[in-house]
Amino acid sequence: MKSMSLQLRKMNLIEYLLGVQDEKVFDKIESTIQKSIKDVKPSDIIFTKNDMVERIEFSNKQIKKGHVLTQKELEKQSKNW
């Protein structure tokens, strides 16, 4: 049950980030995240089947809400990665 709570928190955070309109606030959040994951290796990240199903369901909900990016918007964002 604890992992469900974590998943819910993650989804809530994603929804919050989608609503952030102030670029300075977003920059601070982004910087904090980047600093905290600097030492994380891909091998440290493990997804269970349940995690993947939850991610898929969340993504489908986001699509239905219209929270999507066009290919051009994604390409523009990815230049800053």
CB neighbours of 48 closer than 8 A, spacing ≥ 6?
A: none
| For residue 75, pLDDT beyond 90 | no
Angle between helices 2-19 and 49-65 (to 10 degrees): 30
- Would the pTM of this model clear 0.85, i.e. be above it? no
* Tens of pLDDT, residues 13-61: 999 999 999 999 999 999 998 888 887 777 777 888 888 899 999 999 9
H-type alpha helices, the chain = 2-19, 23-36, 49-65, 71-78
The SS3 call for residue 41 is coil
d(CA 67, CA 18): 8
